[in-house]
């Protein structure tokens, strides 16, 4: 049995925050943000938590594919900003969309989360035990940000996206993958930390806002991501010329340009929407994939080869080569 991408969907909060609006609450300006990141706007939640964003993205997927929630056999949500430690975001999504009491769980690999979740979902479909699975990436990064820290606050936005995988005995969508982690460099990006504190031990609280060593992440991305993309291309007996589109995690436009230059791949092959949405962590890849399918730039069944590649906290990174 093989796994095939049957469709995609997304949900973006209505509330748009421009760079100019951020000028009013912190020491920054539109030119500084645009020239360093490529970001012009971001959307932030007006109270909807991660499970609601993911639930609405899931309903969008089901509407576009014509599949009923009752037909879904599992749900995986990639997120680093769950509603809480328990229940999982995926369980809340299962209830929200009215699915049967199927397997549902979260994956936290930060901005690489969707890549991790999609890899797991493919293996579940390949097992032959499941017909349809929802793979979602969703974040409410706005609740994890210190809005007085311009080094991080200007970067992130909220949103959710995902795909429906289905089982097929003919051609699947997945041609190869390359996925990694390196916890020794984990301090480069941290968020939501809690110290051990109980009736026998009292420790000072740590800063639980997202904190990032921007230079370390930049250097990591431009070294590790090109290598991962090369690996997945070579492993599938393809060449860079065979790749029609690269959907990379939307972290920073300068990072994407640097990756393209290192790979000697035209920057035009790297799809982007960071200007409108900022960095939505695990949601960025599926949101962009859905946009490209919706506007007709990519078409399911076209047999175009597309690389999905993510990188982020953990540190984690990985690439998946798919054929639409």
Which sign does the torsion angle of CA 28, 30, 33, 36 carry? negative
Q: For residues 36 and 125, state if they share a domain.
A: yes
pLDDT of residue 5: 98
Mean pLDDT (whole number) for 167-193: 92
For residues 141 and 118, membership in a common domain is answered with yes
Supply the CATH number for residue 256's domain.
Answer: 3.40.47.10
Q: Are residues 210 and 106 in the same domain?
A: no
Tell me the pLDDT band of 50, cut-offs 50, 70 and 90. very high
Whole-number mean pLDDT of the chain? 95
Same-domain pairing of 146 and 184: no
The reported pLDDT for the residue numbered 195 is: 81
Residue 204 sits in the same domain as residue 159 = no
For the cut 90, the answer to whether the pLDDT of residue 288 exceeds it is yes
How many angstroms separate the CA atoms of 8 and 14, rounded?
20
Residue 193 pLDDT: 81
Question: Which one has a higher pLDDT value, 5 or 150?
Answer: 5
Shared-domain flag, residues 214 and 291: yes
Query: Region 156-171: what's the mean pLDDT?
Result: 96
Do 147 and 281 fall within a single domain? no
pLDDT value of position 200: 83
Q: Are residues 138 and 211 in the same domain?
A: no
Domains in the chain, number: 2
Q: Are residues 134 and 180 in the same domain?
A: no
Give the pLDDT band (50/70/90) at residue 179: very high
Residues 42 and 76 in one domain: yes
Top pLDDT among 221 and 195 is at 221
Per-residue pLDDT reduced to its tens digit, 97-123:
999 999 999 999 999 999 999 999 999
Active site (catalytic) residues: 111, 249, 279
Q: How many CB atoms lie within 10 A of CB 92?
A: 23
Question: Domain limits at 75?
Answer: 2-168
Whether residues 122 and 141 share a domain: the answer is: yes
CB 37 within 8 A of CB 155: yes
Stretch 212-226: mean pLDDT: 94
Distant-in-sequence, close-in-space partners of 307: CB < 8 Å, separation ≥ 6? 229, 232, 233, 243, 245, 246, 247, 319, 320, 321, 322
**pLDDT bracket for residue 303 (50, 70, 90):** very high
Is 242 a residue whose pLDDT tops 80?
A: yes
Which pLDDT belongs to residue 272?
Answer: 96
Shared-domain flag, residues 317 and 279: yes
């Amino acid at each position: 049995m093989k796994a095939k991408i049957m469709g995609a969907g997304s949900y973006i909060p209505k509330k748009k925050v421009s760079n100019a609006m951020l000028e009013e609450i912190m020491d920054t300006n539109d030119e500084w943000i645009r020239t360093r990141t490529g970001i012009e706007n971001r959307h932030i939640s007006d109270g909807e938590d991660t499970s609601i964003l993911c639930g609405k993205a899931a309903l969008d997927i089901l509407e576009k594919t014509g599949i009923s929630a009752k037909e879904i056999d599992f749900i995986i949500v990639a997120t680093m900003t769950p509603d809480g430690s328990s229940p999982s975001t995926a369980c809340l999504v299962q209830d929200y969309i009215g699915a049967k009491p199927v397997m549902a769980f979260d994956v936290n690999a930060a901005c690489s989360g969707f890549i991790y979740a999609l890899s797991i979902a493919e293996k579940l479909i390949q097992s032959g035990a499941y017909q349809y699975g929802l793979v979602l990436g969703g974040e409410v990064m706005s609740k994890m940000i210190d809005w007085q820290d311009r080094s991080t606050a200007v970067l992130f936005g909220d949103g959710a996206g995902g795909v429906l995988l289905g089982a097929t005995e003919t051609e699947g969508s997945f041609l190869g993958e390359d996925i990694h982690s390196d916890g020794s460099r984990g301090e480069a990006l941290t968020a939501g930390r809690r110290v051990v504190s109980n009736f026998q031990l009292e420790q000072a609280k740590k800063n639980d806002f997202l904190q990032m060593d921007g230079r370390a992440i930049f250097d990591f991305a431009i070294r590790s991501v090109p290598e991962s993309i090369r690996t997945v291309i070579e492993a599938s007996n393809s060449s860079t010329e065979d790749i029609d589109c690269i959907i990379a995690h939307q972290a920073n436009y300068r990072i994407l340009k640097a990756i393209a230059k290192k790979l000697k791949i035209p920057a035009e092959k790297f799809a982007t929407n960071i200007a409108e949405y900022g960095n939505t962590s695990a949601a960025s890849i599926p949101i962009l994939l859905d946009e490209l399918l919706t506007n007709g730039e990519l078409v399911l069944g076209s047999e175009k080869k597309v690389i999905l590649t993510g990188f982020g906290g953990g540190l984690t990174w990985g690439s998946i080569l798919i054929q639409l």
